[in-house]
Chains A and B, each alone.
Chain A
Amino acid sequence: MFVNILLVILYLVVIFYLGYKGWRETRTASDYMIAGRQINPYVMAMSYGATFISTSAIVGFGGAAALFGFSVIWLTFLNIFVGIFIAFVFFGKRTRKMGRNLDAHTFPEILGLRFESRFIQGFSGLVIFVFLPVYAAAVLIGISRFIEVYLNIPFGYGLLGFSIILALYVIWGGLKGVMYTDALQGTLMFIMMAILVIFTYSQLGGIVKAHQTLTSMANLVPAKLKALGHMGWTASPKGGSPLWWIVYSTIVYGVGIGVLAQPQLAVRFMTVKNDASLNRAVLVGGIFILAMTGIAFTVGPLTNAVFFQKFGKISIAMAKGNIDKIIPLYIDKVMPSWFATLFLLAMLAAAMSTLSSQYHVGGTSLGRDFYEKSLGRTGGGEITATRLGVGLTILFTIGWGLFLPPSIIAIATAFFFGLCSSTFLPMYFSALYWKRATKAGAIASMVGGFIASFFWLIFIHKKEAAAIGICKALTGKVTLLGFPWNVIDPNVIALPVSIILIIVVSLATSRMREEHLEKCFEWM
């Protein structure tokens, strides 16, 4: 144990040093840096990948896959096809060019400038600032569960301790040099995941044999899950059952599509030098994501077979009902101890890179988007606001991390992805592709999508509505509508609302100025 803690500390020191060194070297002469800064496509893809896929995906969604089964693999397909291919080819290239044309530096800013609306920039900035910590908390919980299981440090202490170290890293310049250390961390993750899947399949006698073993265990599915529609770990849930809606509407569709409108990912496109870098990044990204979520969603369900062979229990029983603990327990109990130590280091790295870019986005959302651009304040206050934004994002993340219940990582991630897609996606897509979209249309879509999403969450979607309790207090009923509505993800309703609003309102209002559109779409 002592050796493990020592290794972790040593590793953190190296990461700190690299982050700091990278930052100092690139900052010594701005002009040199401008001429010489080249984000290599490998670094770009790894950085995007490491920001996109983190401990939350591997620990939280891997755990969800262990519970729900292989059907979650459809999310991997969307992660690669939508999250990499469509995102880079159809969103990335235009985002990069429009970012240059408008001199935009954040996700809310590109939207605000494209539609000539300070309100859009300010509102988007605030939505991100307020709700990003829920997603960041999912990442923080993921790594803290790992620390809990593997280093035997109680969850709350692990969470606070890690947050303090991370805050130091952020203050020490790690936030700025983030892209460079990400590539190293991504490479480590890749190797560890490859070992994980090879080891797991070989434990079960090969790919097809492993799947067959799991198929034959369908009778072990707990009665409670069977009643919800669980048909075994290698089968899709029963069509139209509550579990079917959770897997396909919340996890697969909500997260799979939501990735397109993620502010911390969209800004990555702007830092790329040219289109060739994006083309090359598609290659690296596709393989990387397959190795991350593909392996997590494959090993997740298979943990049931391995745990059952070794301990006579299925995964959820091993983890005593907390799905967020399944993957950490599997690594701790089944994998060799050298692997577990290295895997913990890789997870620490992944959590650090994702969290620091989330803090970066939280800070600029409050400082640049809301305070400076939307309220129009300058004169030094925006620096304070940005720093305050980072500080508050860290504090809110810790708060959510301690407050949220167990088995929450996948749900909290899906919440933020879903909220982003219904609030931003139609507006973002139109910004890049539809010249006829107007300022009023964009505002209607953004505000309408946001309200629809929240209305559904508070009054219809049973899981959240019951926990929040506003619907019960106002109407006396837990939810306004019954099954199947109360298990359908908010996103399934709110995204179409948002799409319809931007189309209808844009067509009903007059076209934006031609010269502005020319400027936006110049050189595309």
Chain B
Amino acid sequence: MLGFADNLTAWGYILSILAAILCVIYGLINWNKGTETEEDYRRTVEWEREEIEVEEKLP
């Protein structure tokens, strides 16, 4: 299949491409699902404060 010597290898090749297509479809379908809520925003702001402190300690 596809010029490969065995089908197992050919399927690895095909499934890699199909997996990438799955990712594209999933991304498109869920593009706007799970957008930011008030709760998300509040928690992110709290979390970011500490994150800045962590980063400031790096060289």
**Interface contact A273-B2, CB-CB below 8 Å:** no
Among the 9-residue stretches A188-196, A202-210, A326-334, the one with 4 or more Cβ atoms under 8 Å from chain B is A202-210
Does A287 reach chain B (CB closer than 8 Å)? Answer: yes
Residue of A nearest to B45 (CB): A34
- CB atoms of B9 and A274 under 8 A apart: no
Cα distance A523–B6 in the bound complex, in angstroms: 48
A73 within 8 A of partner (CB): yes
Q: B52 to A212, Cβ gap below 8 A?
A: no
Task: Collect the chain A residues with CB atoms within 8 Å of residue B31's CB.
Answer: 276, 279-280, 283
Given contacts A286-B24, A387-B59, contact A70 B16 (CB under 8 A): no
Q: Does A85 contact B (CB under 8 A)?
A: yes
Contact call B26/A279, Cβ cutoff below 8 A: yes
Contacts of B27 in A (CB 8 A): 279-284, 286
A-B contact count (CB 8 A): 177
Residues of B within 8 A of A281 (CB): 27
CB distance from A3 to the nearest CB of B (A): 33
The distance in angstroms between the C-alpha atoms of A84 and B23, with both chains bound, is 8
Task: Give Cα A165 to B46, complex, Å.
Answer: 35
Report Cα–Cα, A383/B53, bound state, in Å.
Answer: 10
What residues of chain B lie closer than 8 Å to A283, measured between beta carbons? 23-24, 26-28, 31
Q: Is B34 a contact of A175 with CB atoms below 8 Å?
A: no
Q: Is the CB of A390 within 8 A of B3?
A: no
Do A273 and B46 contact each other (CB < 8 Å), given the known contacts A73-B12, A211-B4, A212-B3?
Answer: no
Contact in complex: B33, A279 (CB < 8 Å): yes
Could you mark each residue 214-257 of chain A with 1 if its beta carbon is under 8 Å from any beta carbon of chain B, else 0? 11001000000000000110111000000000000000000000
Q: A122: CB under 8 A from chain B? A: no
Asked if A77 is at the interface of the complex by the 8 Å CB criterion, the answer is yes
Q: Which residue of B lies closest to A171 (CB)?
A: B59
* Cβ of A434 under 8 Å from chain B: no
In B25-59, the 8 Å CB interface with A consists of: 26-28, 30-37, 39-40, 43-52, 54-55, 57-59
Q: Of all chain B residues, which has the CB nearest A215?
A: B5
- Smallest distance from the beta carbon of A252 to chain B beta carbons, Å? 9
Determine whether the beta carbon of A278 is less than 8 Å from that of B34: yes
C-alpha spacing A287/B45, complex, angstroms? 31
Chain B contact residues, CB within 8 Å of chain A: 2-6, 8-9, 12-13, 15-17, 19-24, 26-28, 30-37, 39-40, 43-52, 54-55, 57-59
A-B contacts, 23 listed (Cβ < 8 Å): A37-B48, A69-B9, A73-B12, A77-B12, A77-B15, A101-B43, A218-B5, A236-B8, A273-B40, A274-B37, A275-B35, A276-B31, A276-B33, A282-B26, A282-B30, A283-B28, A283-B31, A286-B20, A298-B13, A363-B58, A386-B58, A390-B58, A391-B59
